[in-house]
Amino acid sequence: MSTLFFKLPRLAVLAILVVLMGGLGAMLTLGRQEDPTLIERYGYVLTTYPGADAERVEALVSEPLEAALMELPEVDEVSSASRNGFSQIALQIRDDLSESEVDDAWTLIRAKVETARSEFPEGTGIPEVNRQYVGAATLVIGLTWEGEAEPPLTVIRRMALDLEDRFQRLPGTELTDTFGMPDEEVRVVIDPQVLSAAGLSFRQAAGLIASADSKTPAGRLRSSGGTIGLQVGGEFDSIARIREVPLLQRQDGSAVRVGDVARVEKGFADPLPRKALENNKRTVLIGVYISPNQRVDKWAENARAIVHDYAANTPPGLKIETVFDQSVYTTDRLNGLAKNLMFSALIVFVVLFITMGWRSAIVVGTAIPLTVSLVLILFNVFGHPLHQMSVTGLVISLGLLIDNAIVVVDDFDQLRGKGFSRMEAIRKSLRHLAAPLAASTLTTALAFAPIAMLPGGAGEFVGMIGLSVVFSITASFIVSITVIPAMAGWFDRQRSWETGNAKRPRRWWRDGVHSDFLSDGYRTTVEAVLRFPPLGIVLSIFPALLGFYLVGQLPTQFFPQTERDQFQVSMQLAPEADISDTESVVRRATEMIQSVEGVKSVTWVLGEPSPRVYYNAINNTEGVEGFASGWVQLDGNQRTRQTVGEVQRILREEFPSARFLALPFEQGPPADAPIEFRIMGDDFDTLNMIGDHTRAILSQTPGVTYSVASLQLGAPTIRLQADEAATALVGERLTDIAADLSAELEGVRAGSVLEGTEELPVKVIAPMSRRTGMSDLRSAAVGQGTGTPIAALGEVTLTPETAVITRRNGQRMNQILAFLDPYTLPAPVLEDYQKRLEASDFHVPAGYEIVIGGEAENSSDAIGNLAAVGIPLVMVMAGAIMLVFNSFRMMLLVLTTGFLSLGLAFFGVWLFNLPFGFNAIIGGFGLFGIAINGSIVVLSLLRASPEAMADDVIAQREIVVDATRHIVATTLTTMGGFVPILLSGDAFWMPLAAGISGGVAGSALLALYFTPAVFRITTLKPVRRTFTYLFNRKEMSAS
């Protein structure tokens, strides 16, 4: 069976062609995207309660919702923010749930929210459950008004909705969303004095208008001939219909109609709750998201065609353009990775040519396209698209996937040199190499399996790296024991002993580079280590221990910033700020940002989250009028680092009362801030005191730009201290007064008008002149008939109240977020803060605690998840090694070399002056499986030799020397695969590449010096007798 392909060359050729064609077909059909698709574990529930202060919203809305949601075991975290008129519950579903289980969890969440809704007070809005799509928009289109006149919002809205509908019909579109879209409505603006003279209140008028909108079915008429639906005519279908609604019937037969007391008009919410600006020009943005496993380049081409065709018919002054196109970044990244892959393949081939000669280089090099084709086929079978993680996994594995082929070809060549025929050499080589190669493949797969199996956001992001490597080395093993031996036999030259001619002189291009001087010197060092094993052990262990020491001196960084020609900006004003205040500040800030060299455009969204142009840019600011977010587009990523810092400095100096943040986009799972403290407790004043102290220390810590407390006290609030006896005399209760005032100031819905497929709400409200000042408020009338001014019912005062109340998992919380200067590492800043906190001698009061979040928590969770998956797999790896060698001692020796290689990997990270982060850690996990392969091969050869087992030093030396060529070759090819990444200077991949490269280089020394030295000790007769005596096992003496 081992010589099947060699004996049947047509079968081998057919298999090669099938694999190559299958790989090509998979490459053309696989989905392509920039980043992995993450499961929608995050979301929020938004509920309105107009007119209620933060404490009332907390007690009556947020707490019931929290209690209901926390009953679900699928929900991991529940946090809430209660502010004036709004409750927002943020949710996170457990990391260990699969995608289908997460979908089921959202169904349960909606059911729980509906159950909690029954406890809400009257006037509370319908809770809105939103799953947050974790990923960047594929395309963002802007409909920007560039004319001199006021923007025609009606036209812009209609065109935006029409264009959004076209995108929804485009095959491959997952969802669409709009940003800065004006809310169109039919407004019934009532004259309070005329309405009061008619003896009606706002609430009564709204109820009468709503009752005239007869859209409710009236049942069905059932007869022997079938059933017929019954409706009551009169639903709202036009503004004229609303004007004719009678509110009051006089005794003389005349009626007071809506048109008599109000102005009915179609318009927009005043003030608008959200806006979008593109370079300070009014715009509406459409975000379009592609379905998973689609080719983003092909989809974007069709989407751009829709934009081009639609833009051809726009009215003068309106510009429709692509504001963001993810396909550009996806194509650039995948093309860059493809170039790295080709460059790595070239380096690997050159190394093979130099070390093994041209024939062996061709044979071993054949494993690269065959293995990559098999991996692409596996991607296609299991539905994994091409993105930066899957392709980078191929780049990483490029040097690894030929290791098995190198070992097989080198061993075949040595057997041929010893006089074996091609058939015999193939059969003998595979007979004694199959088990060690299977073991090394299994251990490498087990080393990368924790990365592939890592749960949570970090695992979903980097998991395909591990899966790509597992696919690659598994496919390479299959290729190396089937096709490669056959090709080695076909390409092998006629040996001198077969032709009867004299042995040809060695040539480097045919046999690989060889130096007798270096070979003799190397042989001497190996013999010296074997004759004095402690020398080899000490020389091998010292660099590893030095690496473990040096890594402790490195700064830590969970995930680095990305190199991109964009950066994110956000702005936060005081809680009482409205949308006009936000717009004024944003417009001034945009002018300053545009003055910075290299800035192409500035995009802002006010009052709601902006479109995500990077996969982890998530914020929960729906309904916060004092908040704006967006991004700045530059003319290249070379100036991003400088521009971000300059913009941050300018905005901080110009707007001291606003919180402006200019930050680069960062890799990894989303976080509220780099440094986060969660102060848990019950009392507002104590939470505020601890938060103030924390922020005071943060303000003294270098690197911190802003700190923000989620608990906000002292917001100005108008309070009516009503006399209950006086309100009872006018036939009102306190809740009735609140409802009447809310109806006048905030408006109340009273039906809807259908225009085509769109439903426009009908809103009854007072004119703007009645909603702007304290004097207007005091004259507002409540109650039946002509009403009573509220000034007659009690005192109206301006008092400070709690503006925002935050909770986490059912307990009140003051969340402190610390933002840093751009490109500042959080870990050193956090360490500095903790030292300053200790020096302040501050003690947290009893019953309160401070929990560290931010990057530190994300890093700890990810490493914990990795360890939880990795440790059991290391135990499985140990068991596999023990089965191969049938020796506990050999298993310990192999695992020791893997552990020591980690120190050498850390030395590599230190050598390149890189921060120690998550990528360095996952690189260490993968390295563990790679580094032990050389030791497995050396030990297999040593244990297969009776002379070596009998403590023959010369035999041990020659076995190690014979194994050196393929160990050096596999080491150089593995390191060569990382050269493009190291040369690129990519901050994200450099720690992983530097770590694995350093560890692989050190693992060769461990395999050739440390492992033989320890093996020699175990073959010494006193040592063997000692083990036999201690363990009383025949296996010990035999091994």
Domain of 626, CATH number, reads 3.30.70.1430
How far is the C-alpha of 709 from the C-alpha of 690, rounded, in Å? 10
**307 and 161 fall within a common domain:** yes
Residue 877 belongs to some domain of the structure? no
Confidence (pLDDT) at 1025:
58
Residues 731 and 772 in one domain: yes
Would you say residue 291 lies in a domain? yes
Whole-angstrom Cα distance, residue 574 to residue 840? 29
CB atoms within 10 A of CB 1024: 18
Neighbours of 773 (CB within 10 A): 10
Long-range CB contacts (< 8 A, 24+ apart) of 880-888?
880/439, 880/442, 880/443, 880/446, 881/439, 881/443, 881/932, 881/936, 884/435, 884/436, 884/439, 884/936, 884/940, 885/939, 885/940, 885/943, 885/1039, 886/1035, 886/1039, 887/1035, 887/1039
In 535-560, which positions are buried (b, 16+ CB within 10 angstroms) versus exposed (e)?
A: ebbeebeebbeebeebbeebebbbbb
CA proximity to 822, closest of 599, 591, 645: 645
> How many Å apart are CA 540 and CA 1009, to the nearest integer?
7
Whether 396 and 432 share a structural domain: yes
Residues 394 and 328 in one domain: no
411, part of any domain: yes
Cβ(37)–Cβ(102) below 8 Å: no
Structure tokens given for 656: 């001291």
Same domain, 735 and 794: yes
Q: How many CA atoms lie within 13 A of 158 on its CB side?
A: 7
Q: Give me Rg for the CA atoms of the chain.
A: 36
Is the peptide bond preceding residue 271 cis, with omega within 30 degrees of 0? yes
Q: Which of 783, 801, 819 is where one domain is finished?
A: 801
* Same domain? 279 vs 375: no
Q: What is the DSSP string of 567-588?
A: EEEEEE--TT--HHHHHHHHHH
On whether both 97 and 241 belong to a single domain, the answer is: no
Asked whether residue 574 falls in the same domain as residue 653, the answer is yes
Strands (E), 925-978: none
314 DSSP 8-state letter: P
Length of the chain: 1039
- 657 and 723 share one domain: no
Q: Which of 45, 991, 824 is nearest to 462 (CA)?
A: 991
Q: What is the DSSP string of 797-862?
A: EEEEE--EEEEETTEEEEEEEEEE-TT--HHHHHHHHHHHHHHHT--PPTT-EEEE-HHHHHHHHH
- With contact defined as beta carbons under 8 Å apart, do 802 and 684 qualify? yes
d(CA 142, CA 850): 44
Instruction: Give the orientation angle of helix 456-480 with respect to helix 388-398, to 10 degrees.
Output: 40
- Quote the DSSP letter at residue 792: G
Encoding tokens for residue 626? 């004092």
The span from the CA of 272 to the CA of 894, in Å, is 68
Number of domains present in the structure of the chain: 5
- Which amino acid type is present at position 120? F
In one-letter notation, the amino acid at residue 246 is: P
Q: Could you tell me the two tokens for 577? A: 């700020």
Q: What is the 3-state secondary structure (H, E, C) of 76-93?
A: EEEEEEEECCEEEEEEEE
Which distant-in-sequence residues (6+ apart) come within 8 Å of 199 by Cβ?
248, 784, 785, 786
Residues 361 and 457 both lie in one domain: yes
**Could you tell me if residue 1004 is inside a domain?**
no
Residue 926 resides in a domain: no
Return the amino acid letter for 983: L
Say whether 142 sits in a helix, a strand or coil.
strand
Residues 198 and 284 both lie in one domain: no
482 and 453 within one domain: yes
Question: Using an 8 Å Cβ cutoff, are 971 and 1004 in contact?
Answer: yes
- Nearby residues of 483 by Cβ (< 8 Å), 6 or more positions away: 5, 12, 15, 16, 366, 367, 370
Domain boundary, last residue among 747, 781, 801: 801
Is 740 part of any domain?
Answer: yes
Q: Which residues pair with 442 in a beta bridge?
A: none
* Coil vs helix vs strand at 170: coil
Q: Which DSSP helix (H) or strand (E) runs through 740? A: helix 734-745
Task: Tell me which residue of 866, 877, 933 sits closest to 901, measured CA to CA.
Answer: 933
Closest by CA to 723, choosing from 650, 665, 796, 653, is 796
How far is the first Cα of the chain from the last one, in angstroms, to the nearest whole number? 30
Using alpha carbons, list the distances in angstroms from residue 839 to 33, 707, 828, 834.
49, 20, 17, 9
Last residue of a domain, one of 801, 830, 851: 801
Alpha-carbon span 181 to 610, nearest angstrom: 12
DSSP states along 353-386: HHHH-HHHHHHHHTHHHHHHHHHHHHHHHHTPPB
Burial of 796: CB neighbours in 10 Å, binned 0-12, 13-18, 19+: middle
Running DSSP on this structure, what letter comes out for residue 562? P
Long-range contacts of 572-576 (CB under 8 A, 24+ apart): 572/626, 572/627, 572/658, 572/659, 572/708, 573/626, 573/627, 573/657, 573/658, 573/659, 574/626, 574/657, 574/715, 575/83, 575/84, 575/626, 575/712, 575/715, 575/803, 575/804, 576/626, 576/715, 576/716, 576/803
In a domain, 857, yes or no: no
DSSP 790: G
Cα–Cα distance measured from residue 567 to residue 583, given in angstroms and rounded to the nearest whole number: 20
772: Cβ contacts below 8 Å, ≥ 6 apart = none
Output the pLDDT for position 805: 92
Whole-number average pLDDT of the chain: 85
Q: Where in the sequence is the domain holding 6, given as residue range(s)?
A: 1-30+357-503
Contact, 325 vs 305, CB < 8 A? Answer: no
Ranges of the chain with pLDDT below 70: 1-2, 225, 495-512, 514, 620, 715, 726-727, 729-731, 770-787, 791-792, 798, 1021-1039
User: Does the residue 275 lie in any domain?
Assistant: yes
Burial 615-652 (b: 16+ CB within 10 A, else e): bbbbbbbbbbbbbbbbbbbbeeeebbeebbbbbbebbb
The domain spanning residue 141 has which CATH number? 3.30.70.1320
Q: Read out DSSP for 57-126?
A: HIIIIIHHHHHHHTT-TTEEEEEEEEETTEEEEEEEE-TT--HHHHHHHHHHHHHHHHHHHTTSPTTPPP
CATH number, domain with residue 10:
1.20.1640.10
